[in-house]
């Protein structure tokens, strides 16, 4: 069931030494039979994401790196933890996790691989009083949104609806978080002209987030599933009606 890839680093794709970021787990915490190994009532903090290739992250890191020294007041995220979130699920019990796995597998099978690129920057809720500084995405944002919709639908049917379900999907990669609302207009301007190299989103990850004593959470890829490779004469994006089903 779990189309897990044995890749090292950032959700399986990065070669930098691991600090507090994402790590791939060869043996997922949920059994291949679909039954949880832990107590069904135990809660785990989960999100679903795609992991950009190492070279793409290195390119973005080279641009963002010099900015970090000028803004030590921000909590800059680790490159090993960089990802594009499809759906944040929050606290999920193990019984729901077991139901979630086949739903995510089905969602991945329904969607073709698609092309993206990092570009520009922005902030939530605004650059003048920011809580989050992020890099944006260009490319097939429609395919990305449809995949996120499928993941959200599957999670809801599994009994793990995202707490922000219904909110407009805003694809991004989080570069930094602010301890208090901060003015990041200069940072947004410095990153505004960035256009990264295109890359292919080809895999969906179910990720566990562990919040510890340190400021950086630890991410662990529990399972992953490949998106469909387009066949002869097929488009790279799913057709109408393939999107939200899961």
Determine the longest span between alpha carbons in the chain, in angstroms.
52
0.85 exceeded by the pTM? no
Active site residue 24: no
The tens digit of pLDDT for each residue in 58-98 reads: 999 999 999 999 999 999 999 999 999 999 999 999 999 99
Residue-wise over 51-75: b if at least 16 C-beta within 10 A, else e? bbbbebbebbeebbeebeeeeeebe
Q: What is the mean pLDDT of residues 104-133?
A: 97
pLDDT at 234: 60
188-227 pLDDT, tens per residue?
999 999 999 999 999 999 999 988 665 678 899 999 999 9
Cα 222 from Cα 161, distance rounded (Å): 18
Give the pLDDT confidence score for residue 157 in this predicted structure: 96
User: What's the rounded mean pLDDT across residues 161-186?
Assistant: 94
For the domain bounded by 40-226, which CATH number is listed? 3.90.1140.10
Confidence at residue 217, expressed as pLDDT on a 0 to 100 scale: 81
For the cut 60, the answer to whether the pLDDT of residue 15 exceeds it is no
**What's the chain's average pLDDT?**
83
* Catalytic one of 14, 112, 172, 205: 172
Q: Is 83 a catalytic residue?
A: yes
Domains in the chain: boundaries: 40-226
Cα 144 from chain centre: 11
CA distances in angstroms from 102 to 32, 56, 99, 109, 203, listed in the order given: 10, 30, 6, 11, 15
pLDDT digits (tens, 9 = 90+) for 46-62: 999 999 999 999 999 99
Q: What is the pLDDT of residue 110?
A: 96
Cis peptide before 125 (omega within 30 of 0): yes
Q: How do beta strands 199-201 and 43-50 pair?
A: unpaired
| Cα–Cα distance list, 177 to 75, 112, 181, 187, 223 (Å) | 5, 32, 9, 13, 27
Residue 241 has pLDDT above 70, yes or no: no
Catalytic entry in 14, 24, 83, 112: 83
């Amino acid at each position: 069931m779990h189309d897990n890839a044995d890749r090292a680093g950032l959700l399986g794709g990065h070669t930098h030494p691991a600090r507090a970021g994402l790590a791939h787990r060869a043996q997922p915490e949920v059994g291949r039979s679909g039954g949880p190994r832990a107590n069904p009532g135990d809660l785990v903090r989960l999100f679903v994401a795609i992991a950009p290739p190492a070279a793409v992250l290195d390119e973005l890191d080279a641009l963002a790196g010099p900015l970090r020294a000028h803004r030590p007041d921000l909590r800059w995220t680790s490159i090993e933890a960089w990802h594009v979130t499809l759906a944040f699920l929050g606290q999920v019990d193990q019984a729901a996790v077991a139901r979630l796995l086949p739903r995510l597998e089905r969602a991945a099978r329904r969607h073709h691989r698609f092309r993206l690129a990092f570009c520009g920057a922005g902030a939530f809720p605004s650059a003048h009083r920011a809580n989050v500084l992020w890099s944006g995405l260009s490319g097939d944002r429609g395919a990305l949104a449809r995949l996120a919709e499928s993941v959200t639908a599957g999670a809801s049917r599994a009994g793990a609806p995202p707490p922000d379900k219904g909110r407009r999907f805003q694809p991004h990669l989080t570069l930094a978080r602010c301890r208090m609302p901060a003015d990041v207009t200069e940072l947004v301007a410095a990153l505004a002209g960035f256009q990264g190299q295109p890359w292919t989103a080809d895999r969906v990850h179910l990720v566990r987030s562990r919040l510890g004593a340190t400021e950086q959470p630890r991410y662990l890829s529990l399972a992953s599933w490949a998106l469909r490779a387009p066949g002869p004469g097929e488009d790279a994006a799913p057709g109408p009606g393939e999107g939200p089903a899961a």
